[in-house]
Amino acid sequence: MDRGRVAGAILAGGRARRLSGRVKPLLEVGGRTILARTLDALAPVVSSVFLVGDPALLPDTGLLVVPDHRSGAGPLAGLEAALHATACDFVLLVGGDMPFLDGAMLARLRDAAEGAEAVCFAGERGLEPLCARYARALLPRVTARLDVGELALHALLSAVACQSIEVTTEEERRALTNINTEEDLAAAEAATAS
């Protein structure tokens, strides 16, 4: 698919309670922020990249920060903000806490099943909604779900034409690692040292 049809959105919101409220994209792994690592993987495969989160919590990175106007509504609200913020046909949405994202995997997401409303990886934990491509045409349905309090991204994926890509290798599983706890952060740091 032409990369000009796909915007990249990095979710940088969330309270990170298990990490003492720290801003996950600004955490360092292997001497670099997760944000810098994510940009290295994402920027080459999309037309533009922006952050979704609270502009007051994010330092000036040179990237557009799209505010999520539904505080506390979780990643689905971040998806709504991302879809609303772009004129591109698709958004490649990634979590801001994934230090090992891989550009080749993201290109596979971009290029897979062009007619699908969503494309995501499927691994041992099931579907990975925070490393997925979403059609901008989903915006009205995302908004409708939020309006009635249906907040689960997994439920959205079950309700739309979603294509999944099976994760089969250790490298692919590693690419989908996310950081939720101090233990996760320590394990990611150790992985970069080995």
Candidates 155, 164, 79, 48; CA nearest to 113 is: 164
Domain boundaries, the chain: 3-193
The domain over range 3-193 is classified in CATH as 3.90.550.10 = yes
As a whole number, mean pLDDT of residues 3-16 equals: 88
Q: Residue 186 has which token pair?
A: 């320590």
pTM of the model: 0.94
- What mean pLDDT value characterizes the chain? 92
Q: Where are the beta strands (DSSP E) in 54-161?
A: 64-66, 90-95, 118-123, 126-135
pLDDT digits (tens, 9 = 90+) for 12-67: 876 666 676 678 898 999 999 999 999 999 999 999 999 998 888 787 888 999 99
Q: What is the pLDDT of residue 194?
A: 67
In angstroms, rounded to a whole number, what is the distance separating the alpha carbons of residues 78 and 53?
Answer: 8
Measured in residues, the chain has a length of 194
Chain centre distance of CA 65? 14
Task: Give just the sign of the alpha carbon dihedral 145, 97, 6, 81.
Answer: positive
Q: Phi and psi of 137, rounded to 5°?
A: -60, -15
Q: What is the pLDDT of residue 23?
A: 82
Phi-psi region of 14 (alpha: psi -120 to 50; beta: other; left: phi over 0): left
Residue 6 near residue 109, CB atoms below 8 Å: no
Candidates 148, 108, 144, 143; CA nearest to 128 is: 108
